[in-house]
Amino acid sequence: MKPNIWACLLTLLLLWFFSTLAWGAEVDQGQKLYLQYCSSCHGIDGRGNGTVAPYLKLKVPDLSLLKKNHKGIYPLSDVMTAIDGSRAVRAHGDRQMPVWGEQFRKEAEKEKYTELTSLLKAKVIAEYVATLQR
Ligand code: HEC
């Protein structure tokens, strides 16, 4: 039997369609989490002009310049560790940013994979921050 090229194409098209849907949902999720946890300081566009920013001792970094400041490569894992807080963002420990990892782990306490869930949350947010680069 001749392979049915149309069936193959249709399958590919459907696969493509659903993968973009899934990806879109993940970006939406990242945006939702970013607006919930980060925008108050870093601003809706990530440029460090959130409503809380003027009241902090430290200047809130512009997250839309992370890629530019890292030789054109977005530092995904650095952003994830900055969110998680397991690595001090500032050497002298004068951290103004909340340690989100602790919070995420607390929120996911009842989940089966607490550690993984909070890590994925940081990843989804970090991937959303990647879309704010200019
Ligand atoms: C209470 C205000 C506040 C909130 C909320 C906040 N941040 Fe921050 N963030 C800061 C400040 C201030 C710094 C500068 C370093 C420090 O104080 O720890 C910083 C540093 C960072 C850095 C390191 C930037 C660099 O140049 O190395 C990243 C990445 C970051 N924040 C991402 C996030 C993300 C993502 C969220 C949401 C999950 C978030 N922040 C929530 C205030 C905040």
Tens-place pLDDT, residues 41-93: 999 999 999 999 999 888 999 999 999 999 999 999 999 999 988 665 554 55
According to the model, what pLDDT value does residue 11 have? 86
Q: Where are the domains of the chain?
A: 5-130
104 vs 39: CA distance, rounded Å:
17
Take atom 41 of ligand 1 and give the residue whose Cα is closest.
38
Among 63, 95, 97, 129, residue to substitute to test ligand 1 (most atoms within 8 Å of Cβ)? 97
* Mean pLDDT (whole number) for 93-108: 83
pTM of the shown model: 0.82
Centre of ligand 1 from the C-alpha of residue 12, in Å: 41
Is a pLDDT exceeding 80 seen at residue 6?
yes
Query: Which band of pLDDT confidence, cut at 50, 70 and 90, is reported for residue 101?
Result: confident
**Three-class HEC string of the chain:** CCCCHHHHHHHHHHHHHHHHHHHHHHHHHHHHHHHHHCHHHHCCCCCCCCCCHHHCCCCCCCHHHHHHHCCCCCCHHHHHHHHHCCCCCCCCCCCCCCCHHHHHHHHCCCCCCHHHHHHHHHHHHHHHHHCCCC
Q: Tell me, in angstroms, the distance from the centre of ligand 1 to residue 26's CA.
A: 21
Class of domain 5-130: mainly alpha
% residues pLDDT > 90 (the chain): 50
Q: Which atom of ligand 1 is nearest to the CA of 66?
A: 26
- Ligand 1: which residues within 6 Å by Cβ? 37-38, 40-42, 52, 56, 58, 60-61, 63, 79, 82-83, 89-90, 95-98, 100, 125, 129
What pLDDT score does 71 carry? 95
Report which of residues 31 and 9 the model is more confident about: 31
